Structures are given as structure tokens and as C-alpha cells.
Amino acid sequence: ETPVLFKQELQNEEAKEGKQVRLTCELSKPGTPVKWMKGDTVLYASEKYEFKQHGTVAELIIKDVKSLDA
């Protein structure tokens, strides 16, 4: 089976505290499960984190951004 590769890797994004930020990456294979992490910590969907996936594009939306989210 062909390995899944990043066609577009994550880019650094800036946001003002209290706003939201959207992080996007593109994979080589549509529908591939994505695990979002901050360091060694796995992120789970919540009021703070929203995950979207459309074909090969995966998005993480971080709401109410704080300096801890850097």
C-alpha cells in the first residue's frame, strides 16, 4: 500500500488572543485519518478544538486562542 505523504505541510499562523486560528495540511490520499497533536499531547474535538476533513485537506480550528496554544 502506498504511504500517505504531506502534499502541503502545516504553516505557522498568527492570531490575536480570544480569536480563532485555522491550521491546514494536505495529504496525498483522501479520507486518511489524521491525529492532531501539540507536542506529545493528542488533541480531541471539544469547544476549543474543531476538526474538519474534506478529501485530502485536513483542518484544525483552535477557538479562543491563548498564549498557551503557541
Taking only Cα atoms into account, the Rg of the chain, rounded to an integer number of angstroms, comes to 13
Q: How do residues 40-69 score in pLDDT, each as one tens digit?
A: 999 999 999 999 999 999 999 999 999 998
The answer on pLDDT for 20 being more than 80 is yes
Average pLDDT of the segment spanning 2-27: 91
The pLDDT score that the predictor gives to residue 53 is: 95
Distances from the Cα of 6 to the Cα of 19, 29, 41, 48, 58, angstroms: 27, 9, 21, 25, 11
The pLDDT score that the predictor gives to residue 59 is: 96
Map out the domains of the chain as residue ranges: 6-62
For the entire predicted model, the pTM comes to 0.86
> Domain 6-62 carries which CATH code?
2.60.40.10
Distances from the Cα of 17 to the Cα of 4, 29, 38, 53, angstroms: 34, 34, 18, 25
